[in-house]
Amino acid sequence: MPFMIGPAPVRRTLQYLQSGQLQLLNRIKVFTVNYNSRGTRHWGARQFVFWELPKLQYVNPEVQVATFINMTPSPFIKCYLDDGRSMIVDVDNKTQEQIHDHILTVACKSLTSIQANAEQLVNPANFGVGFDRPCICEVRGQVPCPGIVELPRELRGKYTYQKAE
């Protein structure tokens, strides 16, 4: 399999990508990581980019993610918000786990909001595009679609409201 070639091919498996916990806030539009390819102070940032950035990109498809290599003396993460402001996170001499935990507390959604959003998507009463049922007529006990079954005259507005005097 060609996708299993290279360093740590497990990073390209779907199960690994779906295990990402970093679900960024809705107001974050751009996520940048600045680090150098050499130096011990940048080791944690390099490991974060190698192991956590693919998961972050998979979980947040609407966020633009960029890495800037060998452009800064000290490593940092910068998040650009939708209102024009930015947030800088210092990752100098931090390990991958420390960076992950700090980003999780500072720039990610809380666990309760993620669960509430997941419950909203799984609610069986929802219908429309993106849900289990595209139309309410598929629910048992509802009136069928007029394109499939013709409605009785008393349920049509033109016969009810536009009666001949």
Which pLDDT score, from 0 to 100, does residue 164 have?
A: 59
pTM (2 decimals)? 0.69
Contact 27, 75 (CB under 8 A): no
List, by residue range, all CATH 3.40.30.10 domains of the chain: 2-114
Phi, psi of 28 (to 5 degrees): -85, 125
Cβ-in-10-Å burial (0-12, 13-18, 19+) of 99 comes to: buried
Which pLDDT score, from 0 to 100, does residue 91 have?
A: 96
Q: How far apart are CA 79 and CA 32, in angstroms?
A: 6
Residue 5: which pLDDT band, with cuts at 50, 70 and 90? confident
The predicted-structure confidence for 53-109, as pLDDT tens digits, reads as follows: 999 999 999 999 999 999 999 999 999 999 999 999 999 999 999 999 999 999 999
Which pLDDT score, from 0 to 100, does residue 127 have?
A: 82
Residue 130: which pLDDT band, with cuts at 50, 70 and 90? confident
AA letter at 98: Q
The predicted-structure confidence for 37-55, as pLDDT tens digits, reads as follows: 999 999 999 999 999 999 9
Query: Considering the domain 2-114, what is its CATH architecture?
Result: 3-Layer(aba) Sandwich (3.40)
Percent of the chain with pLDDT over 70: 95
Which pLDDT score, from 0 to 100, does residue 165 have?
A: 53
Terminal Cα-to-Cα distance of the chain (whole angstroms): 76
Which pLDDT score, from 0 to 100, does residue 83 have?
A: 95
Strand-strand pairing, 28-35 and 76-81: antiparallel
* Pairwise pLDDT comparison (114 vs 33), residue with the higher score: 33
